[in-house]
Every structure is written in structure tokens, then in C-alpha cells.
Structure 1
């Protein structure tokens, strides 16, 4: 597994990480046994960066990670979690020092550690980026040893840019063939400030695997069924905010330049073509998917024709739906 510097932390993260939302919940049923086997497969494949959140399966994802790492004897793995979405209602006023401390201590307990590697504010309301007291509370938790570093997970490019005003070490943002705007300005600013970039939703909720069809069915507890129109959370988290039929058309046009690799590998390699990206975090629901995702790091660089075609398809089909929205 090729590794990249994770901002100014001194960490070296494998280019392909593991997004642990799917093993927590909201992606259909994944048994405890399958979830553990999937984590083991990812780690055996060289993955050393796991991204989770306290709300993934109401703590299930964190507990699974803790259990697997304990089974492996404390592997040298970076575990990034998130906090904030557990607020009800999820409003800026709820981001108090007391609430954040409560979330962090609960994650410490579930992950069975004395200090969290990385805590990310979990797509907070935009107003949070204008409240320095929230980041001061995180600073105090670093000083107290409850966490080593903190960052943010954002919905919008504007939020990512505003977050750079604070001493964060990372920004997690949706970046894929269907969401290309972060590369226009934000990536340059992040590099200048030595802030790591975590690329999430890299396969556009499965669209960019090339395996979905117009008649694909999803379980009732899969967000691709219950959040198609943003009913539960930001619509951009499901299929990257792209209408399902439009995404399918774009994938079919991409096939002409993918070559002899899978669509998923092509999509992951496309993300890694930008040097500002520190780690990509595809999810997996079984060991085969985890192993396949990790192998994308072995692919050679994409050609100028492949990159130009991906840009052309984005500009013509996808841009009108997503570019200025996020």
C-alpha cells in the first residue's frame, strides 16, 4: 500500500483507507461476523486508516473497530471518528464544550483507548465555522490528552475553506468523479496550510462501481432507499446528490475509457491522481469488497485522455446538479 503524509501530523496514511459507515448501519444488514471479517480483510490488505463516527449504528461501528484491533494485538492503525451528529436537534447551539466532551468520552469508551487519534466535527451547521469557541473546546481536549488531533467533515466547499482558519489537521469532504469542485480552490489552500484531505463517498454510494442498474433495489434500512431525496440527511451524501438516472448515464459513458480495470478501481484511482488527497475512504460490506478497494492503490496513473473524458462527462451531465450546490 502506497502511503501519503497526513497533513502536519507526522502520520503516514495508506492511500486507500476504510470507511466504516456501512458496517455500522444505514447500508442494509451486515452481521457482526461479516463486519469483523471485512475489517480484518482491509487491514490485511495494508489499510491503516479507519474512518468511523459515533452515530454509525449508534456506536456499533466504533465498537467493531475496537474489537478487531484488540484481536490483532493493537495494530498500528489510525482511527478517525466523528462527533456532533448525535445532537437532537442538530443545531449550532448544541455544540457546547459540555456536549462535545460527552461525545468524545463516549467514543473513548467504545474504542477502548485513552486518547482518540482524530476527532472530526461531523458535518455541523455552517454557523459552527463562525464560532471559534467550538474549536477552542477541541483545543482544550487536546491539551487534556483526550484526543491527539481534530478536524472537520464538511458538506460544502465553502465550509472547508472557512474551517482552514482554525488549527485543524484535516478536512473530510466528498470528492469523486461526480463531485469535482473541491479541486478548484480548496485543495490548493489545504496544501498551503498542510491540512490533510480525506476523500469520502468516493464511489458515489455505489454508482461509480458500475454495478447499479435502473432497477436496482435497496433494503429499507439502506440510505439509498430512504434518503434519495434528502429525507433523513443531506441529499449530497446519497449518490453524491446526483439524480440516479443521470448518474447511470454518466457511468455508461465513462466505460469507454475505463479500460481493462473495474469501474470502481478507475474511480478510486481518479481521486488519487490529485496530490492534495491524503487518503480515500471507500466503504465495504464484505471482505471481497475491502480487498478489491485496497488494490486500487496498485493501479498505474490514468492517462490524459481518461482524465479529460471524466471532466467532459462531469461538465456536461453532472455539473448542473451539484457544482454550485456543494
Structure 2
């Protein structure tokens, strides 16, 4: 396992992190005993970063992680969760309550990194005047150590990084083989400001694993398919042959501190662990990938000026 320093926090984190959505059964039924076994194997394999959220399985992901870490294993993990979420108010009181509930489900006195979940859901002013002050108060009280922000809208990440009040950012499906737009502005800015970077959904919500998420729109899947056809030079002969190059693409990017794996079984976990020995894409292949989709987001433009 490779490790790196998580921005200015000084935390030493594994470059492969465990993503919490599958742990709560978000993508299909899971057995709690199997999840606990997988979390323990992840820790024993050198993974020390676990990322979750209250909305993953309506708290089930946090509850299962807390159960797996009790009995003396809490100190083995850098534990990251999120505040509030879809359909909730991001006001001061709700943010405090959200974190208090997470602490209870996780069975811990502190959370290492607390991120504001999908900030595109609410106006910028609400985040700055309500959500962020609540997290800063929780940090003063010792209940959280560091504060982060998450969204896939890159211009919003730029705006929030400009506040110099966040220790980390998390985006998803914005540094992957078929959409690497995060590398142009967001990654250099985060490096300049010494902000920790978490990359989620490097398989593009299942697209690069040939198992697209059911909620993806047909036109987006069609465009992704066209891009994937241009990546045949990377495809391995094994089933889901773009998974390995997709993982190596992110794990070898020095500006990304943690690449999340959405493993729900020990089999998937072990396969992803095999990509953590420090070998990225061939330099010529990497430049070819960058040239194919330079500046071209896979996702349609959002009206970000309203947020």
C-alpha cells in the first residue's frame, strides 16, 4: 500500500480508500457480517481511510462502520463522513444535529474529516453563513478535526477553495478515463493551497466497469460508450477490462491523495488492492488519454451561477 500526506492536515492516508456507499447497501443487498469482515481485511491490508455519509443507506453505512471499528480498531482508521445531505436543510442547527447523529452511529467521540455533502444542493450563502460555521464550532469542541467540501461541480470547488476555510475537497467522476476535467484547474489549485483531494467514482458510476448505474440517462451512456471505444488500447483481456487502467489512472496521480474504491465484497477489495503498488499508465498512454478528451466534460453543464 502507498501512503501520502493529506494536504496541510498532516494526516498520513492510504492512497486507496474505502468508499462507504456500498457498505450501506446503496447499490444492492449486502450482508452485515460480510461487510464487517471486508472492513477488517481492508484495515489489515493497509487501507486506513474510510469515507461515508449519513445518507448512505439512511445511516446504515455509518452504523456498520462503527460496529466494525469498535473493540479498539477506531484508531486504525482515518474516518471521514459528511454533514446533512439530500432533502435536508443545511442550516446551523440541522448541521450540528447531523454530525451528532453520525458520531452516535459511528460509535466514536470524533470524526477526522467532516465534509459538507454535495454543496450544489443549496445556495452558497447558506453554506457560508450556516453550514460552515456549525462545522467550525464542532471543530472547536473537538468533535471533528478537519473540514471538507464535496460536489462534482468543479467551479463550485474552486469558489469554496478560495475561502481558505476548507482542508479538503471531494469530487466524483471528474478525474477518470472518460472525463478528466478536474486536472485542468481544480487539482493545481488544491495543490497550491495544500488542500487534501479525494477522488470518488473513478469507474464513472459503473460506466468503466461495463455496469452503468440504472439512474444514468441514455444519452450520457451513449456518449460514454463512444469515449470508451476510443480507449480500447487500454482494455485488459479480463472481464471489465477498463477497471484496472481506470484505478491506476487515479492512484498514480500525485495531486490526488485518496482514490475511493466502492467495494462491497472482499473479492472486489482484493482486486483493487492489487493496483496499489505504485504503477500507473505507461507515460505515452497517459498522454494519449489526456489528448482524447481534453477539456470535455462527460456531464451536461449545470446552471452553477444559481448556487
TM range (shorter): 0.7 to 0.9
The residue number in structure 2 matching 1:272 is 251
* Match status 1:24 vs 2:24: yes
The residue number in structure 1 matching 2:232 is 255
Range moving further from structure 2, 298-307 or 270-279: 298-307
The offset of 1:2, in angstroms, is 0.6
Cα distance in 1, alignment partners of residues 71 and 179 from structure 2: 37
Q: 2:140 aligns with which of 130, 143, 158?
A: 143
The offset of 1:97, in angstroms, is 1.3
- Which ranges of structure 1 fall in alignment gaps of 5 or more residues? 217-223, 230-240
The offset of 1:198, in angstroms, is 0.3
Deviations 1:256-314 (CA, angstroms, capped at 9, x unpaired): 23467852121111113322111000201210101111221115232222112322443
Cα distance in 2, alignment partners of residues 179 and 75 from structure 1: 36
The offset of 1:323, in angstroms, is 7.3
The residue number in structure 2 matching 1:52 is 52
* Match status 1:282 vs 2:261: yes
The residue number in structure 2 matching 1:195 is 195
| Kept in 2: contact 1:2–1:15 (CA 8 A) | yes
Query: In the superposition, relative to structure 1, how do residues 259 and 299 fare at CA in structure 2: closer, same or farther (>3 Å)?
Result: farther
The residue number in structure 1 matching 2:216 is 228
Query: In the superposition, relative to structure 1, how do residues 3 and 312 fare at CA in structure 2: closer, same or farther (>3 Å)?
Result: same
The residue number in structure 1 matching 2:167 is 169
Q: How does 1:111-130 map to 2 (within 5 A)?
A: 111-124=106-119, 125=121, 127-128=123-124
Query: In the superposition, relative to structure 1, how do residues 291 and 304 fare at CA in structure 2: closer, same or farther (>3 Å)?
Result: same
The residue number in structure 2 matching 1:293 is 272
* Match status 1:154 vs 2:113: no
SS in 1 for 2:276: helix
The offset of 1:147, in angstroms, is 0.9
Deviations 1:27-64 (CA, angstroms, capped at 9, x unpaired): 01112122222222322221110000011111110111
Range moving further from structure 2, 48-57 or 71-80: 71-80
The residue number in structure 2 matching 1:243 is 220
Cα distance in 1, alignment partners of residues 278 and 271 from structure 2: 12
The offset of 1:173, in angstroms, is 0.7
Cα distance in 2, alignment partners of residues 67 and 130 from structure 1: 33
Cα distance in 2, alignment partners of residues 305 and 70 from structure 1: 46
Cα distance in 2, alignment partners of residues 31 and 18 from structure 1: 17
Query: In the superposition, relative to structure 1, how do residues 5 and 319 fare at CA in structure 2: closer, same or farther (>3 Å)?
Result: same
TM-score, structure 2 length as denominator? 0.88
Deviations 1:234-253 (CA, angstroms, capped at 9, x unpaired): xxxxxxx9722332343343
| Kept in 2: contact 1:254–1:309 (CA 8 A) | no
Cα distance in 1, alignment partners of residues 33 and 183 from structure 2: 38
Range moving further from structure 2, 185-194 or 31-40: 31-40
Aligned residues: 296
Cα distance in 2, alignment partners of residues 131 and 279 from structure 1: 24
RMSD value over aligned CA atoms?
2.4
Query: In the superposition, relative to structure 1, how do residues 266 and 103 fare at CA in structure 2: closer, same or farther (>3 Å)?
Result: same
Q: 1:103 aligns with which of 98, 107, 115?
A: 98
SS in 2 for 1:298: coil
TM-score, structure 1 length as denominator? 0.83
